[in-house]
Amino acid sequence: MNRALVIGASGGIGSALVQELKDRGFDVTGVSRSGDGMDVTDAASVARVLGAFEGPFDAVFVTIGTLAAGGTPEKTLGAIDAQRMADVYAVNVIGPALILGSLERLLPRDAPCFVGVLSARVGSIGDNKIGGWHSYRASKAALNQIVHGAAIEVGRKRRDAVIVALHPGTVETDFTAKYPAHKKVSAGEAAANLCDVLLNLDATQSGDFIDYSGACVPW
């Protein structure tokens, strides 16, 4: 049986991914702060939790993230709060970077494997037409760079590994409840879309930024 790891398994998308992967026949391990005490902003905590696992995992989803670290997204540069911006970066950038740094040993060396890190289209510099949401946008752009670099590094030893940044669309969760959107999908639908996309990629696409339909998103 194929094995999957979902980091951020207690969140809306994370819990839906756990169920979707189980429905597809995976043996799923879920990790969360509430369930396992993993603080993604603390290197020792990440190393302790992930260090307790033995691989290989055939598929991994990293679904952690924060929109504004307890505040609201900034509409102007003048609204930036330095500490809150640092808190957003700690979760959205440093957290996934620490996870990816501990993840390679859990991936198979000579077989295909798939790692999807949830990003967001608003992290696209080329697609930014309206500005605002500066901390969140910048953190996701930085995350995309981390993912791209991880794909290069891991790919040197694991040539069949696929590591990508994934845009899930706007999903109906507590995360997005306060913010109107033209179209939202359920967490279950988003999970199915993400699995359809990630599990059908190949190593030539590793390092890309891809949305829920399988299309590449501009950097």
Pairing of strands 161-167, 3-7: unpaired
Domain range list for the chain: 3-211
pLDDT in tens, 16-29: 999 999 999 999 99
Cβ pair 212, 168 in contact under 8 A:
yes
3-211 carries CATH number 3.40.50.720: yes
Report the distance separating Cα 88 and Cα 81, nearest Å: 11
Q: Is 71 exposed, middle or buried (0-12, 13-18, 19+ CB in 10 A)?
A: middle
What was the pLDDT predicted at 175? 61
Ranking 19-28, 124-133, 167-176 by mean pLDDT, the lowest is 167-176
Task: Return the percent helix, strand and coil in the chain, to nearest 5.
Answer: 40, 15, 40
Q: Indicate the pTM of the whole model.
A: 0.94
pLDDT in tens, 90-122: 999 999 999 999 999 999 999 999 999 999 999
